């Protein structure tokens, strides 16, 4: 969901990656139950966001293989990072691999490594992602893109705990926790014969599903605040104010690209906007701007007024219940009422 720096452990930790591992006294202890380190990285006020954070807390003390499912841009990499940082393996590396970006002819060497001279361009030995992730976590991103042949090789490594580097006569054993992520429905892929059922069940010991942004609109406002601060820090500039009209436009969009698309829209506004201290609706990229037609805008506001009032009536006048039914925060509900000319105190 959120923008994060590239996967890496602190320099002093990454430097320690031998088979001997880390002394027990140096390993980070799991956080207390229902508390997670860096919880603010997964931004959201929705029940779905709370559920995901609770799941991460429950998994902190386990080494369970986990499958993270969700549309592109929902923040699967953030959840993987939090799972690693809140585990007993947090002081060892988190090693990601984009399965969609590795050709079939290279997947074995990339994952399992190779010996010097194993092929013509192997000028030195390479431990592979499994070796780099020893005593840490291996993140298989876009695992649904793997070919059936590559799936079989990964399955064997997961089942035996052994890998054969190219050119080696002996297997090597590594202690690796595997977290996988996909934007595909792997159960449907299994039914269609495009994904191995045995690998699916091996990966999906625990499943975490991240809903799309359009299913948790109450998370858009806190995400906007978080992303604007993050972008401003990267651009080394002051954090701009997000005008109400711009926020309303952002909350109204479907966001097929989810949090990644939202971040891109905000960065666009901060780069091209004439007023560097404010983000206006006109600064947003075309797809995210509000409808310009007065007639359509008036009709839209009338529809929103009808929907809000009817929902509040259906909830017996409780704005808290109405906000939950609309999947928005109570603050957002009050702001929408004010925008359409209604006083929240007397509605």
Question: Could you give the C-alpha distances from 42 to 26, 175, 301, 303, in angstroms and in order?
Answer: 26, 27, 32, 33
Half-sphere exposure of 285 (CA within 13 A, CB side): 12
CA dist 52 and 182 (Å) reads: 16
- Asked if the structure places residue 3 within a domain, the reply is no
138 and 56 in a single domain? The answer is: yes
DSSP 8-state code for residue 166: B
Rounded CA-CA distance 111/68 in Å is: 20
Residue 284: the pLDDT is: 93
Q: How many CA atoms lie within 13 A of 254 on its CB side?
A: 3
pLDDT at 177: 95
Cα(197)–Cα(151) distance, integer angstroms: 10
Same domain, 326 and 191: no
Query: With b meaning 16 or more CB within 10 Å and e meaning fewer, what string describes 44-61?
Result: bbbebbeebbebbbebbe
Q: What is the pLDDT of residue 3?
A: 43
Asked which of 248, 274, 290 is the last residue of a domain, the reply is 290
Instruction: Output phi, psi for 242, to 5 deg.
Output: -95, 115
The last residue of one of the domains, among 211, 235, 261, is: 211
Q: How many domains does the chain have?
A: 3
Note whether 241 and 308 are same-domain residues: no
- Judge whether residue 298 has pLDDT over 50: no
Q: Does 2 reside within a domain?
A: no
Query: What DSSP character marks residue 206?
Result: E
Q: DSSP label at 81?
A: H
Angle, vertex CA 229, rays to CA 248 and CA 47, nearest 5:
60
Domain containing 98 — which CATH number?
3.40.50.300
**Sign of the alpha-carbon dihedral angle for 286, 289, 290, 294:** negative
The residue that leads in pLDDT, 295 or 58, is 58
For residues 335 and 328, the answer to whether their CB atoms sit within 8 Å is no
CA distance 262 to 252: 12
Residue 1 belongs to a domain: no
Give the pLDDT confidence of 136-185 residue by residue, as tens digits. 999 999 999 999 999 999 999 999 989 988 888 888 999 999 999 999 99
Cβ partners under 8 Å of residue 204, min gap 6: 65, 67, 186
Query: Is pLDDT at 313 greater than 80 in this prediction?
Result: no
Indicate whether 319 belongs to any domain.
Answer: yes
Segments forming the whole domain that contains residue 259: 213-290
* Res 19: pLDDT: 33
Q: In terms of domains, do 174 and 43 share one?
A: yes
pLDDT digits (tens, 9 = 90+) for 60-93: 778 899 999 999 999 999 999 999 999 999 999 9
d(C-alpha 327, C-alpha 321), whole Å: 10
What pLDDT was estimated at residue 29? 54
User: 153 with 81, same domain?
Assistant: yes
Percent pLDDT > 70 in the chain is 83
More confident residue, 207 or 31: 207
- Kindly tell me the sign of the dihedral angle through the C-alpha atoms of 275, 277, 283, 285: positive
Same domain, 71 and 99: yes
Confidence of residue 302 (pLDDT cuts 50, 70, 90): low
pLDDT tier at 119 (50, 70, 90 boundaries)? Answer: confident
CATH number of 303's domain:
1.10.10
CA 301 vs CA 178, 194, 246, 289, 323: distances in Å? 48, 46, 15, 15, 18
Q: Is the pLDDT of residue 322 over 90?
A: no
Structure confidence by residue, pLDDT tens digits, 50-61: 999 999 999 977
Q: Is residue 340 over pLDDT 50? A: yes
């Amino acid at each position: 969901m959120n923008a994060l720096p590239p996967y890496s452990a602190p320099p002093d930790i990454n430097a320690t990656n031998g088979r001997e591992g880390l002394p027990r006294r140096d390993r980070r202890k799991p956080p207390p139950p229902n508390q997670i380190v860096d919880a603010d990285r997964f931004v959201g006020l929705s029940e779905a966001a709370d559920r995901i954070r609770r799941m991460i807390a429950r998994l902190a003390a386990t080494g369970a293989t986990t499958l993270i499912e969700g549309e592109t841009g929902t923040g699967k990499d953030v959840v993987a990072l939090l799972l690693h940082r809140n585990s007993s393996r947090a002081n060892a590396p988190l090693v990601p691999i984009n399965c969609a970006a590795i050709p079939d002819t290279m997947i074995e060497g990339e994952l399992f490594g190779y010996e010097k001279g194993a092929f013509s361009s192997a000028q030195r030995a390479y431990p592979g992602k499994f070796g780099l992730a020893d005593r840490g976590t291996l993140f298989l991103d876009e695992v649904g893109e793997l070919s059936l042949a590559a799936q079989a090789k990964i399955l064997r490594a997961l089942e035996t705990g052994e890998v054969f580097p190219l050119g080696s006569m002996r297997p090597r054993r590594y202690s690796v926790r595997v977290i996988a992520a996909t934007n595909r429905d792997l159960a449907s892929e299994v039914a269609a014969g495009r994904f191995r059922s045995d690998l699916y069940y091996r990966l999906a010991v625990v499943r975490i599903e991240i809903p799309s942004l359009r299913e948790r609109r109450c998370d858009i406002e806190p995400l906007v605040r978080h992303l604007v601060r993050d972008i401003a820090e990267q651009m080394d500039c002051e954090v701009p104010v997000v005008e109400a009209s711009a926020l309303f436009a952002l909350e109204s969009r479907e966001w097929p690209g989810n949090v990644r698309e939202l971040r891109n829209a905000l960065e666009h506004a901060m780069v091209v906007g004439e007023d560097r201290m404010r983000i206006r609706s006109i600064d947003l990229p075309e797809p995210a701007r509000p409808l310009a037609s007065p007639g359509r805008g008036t009709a839209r506001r009338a529809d929103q007024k009808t929907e809000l009032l009817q929902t509040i009536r259906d909830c017996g006048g409780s704005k808290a219940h109405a906000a939950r039914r609309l999947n928005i925060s109570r603050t957002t509900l009050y702001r929408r009422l004010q925008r359409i000319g209604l006083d929240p105190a007397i509605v």
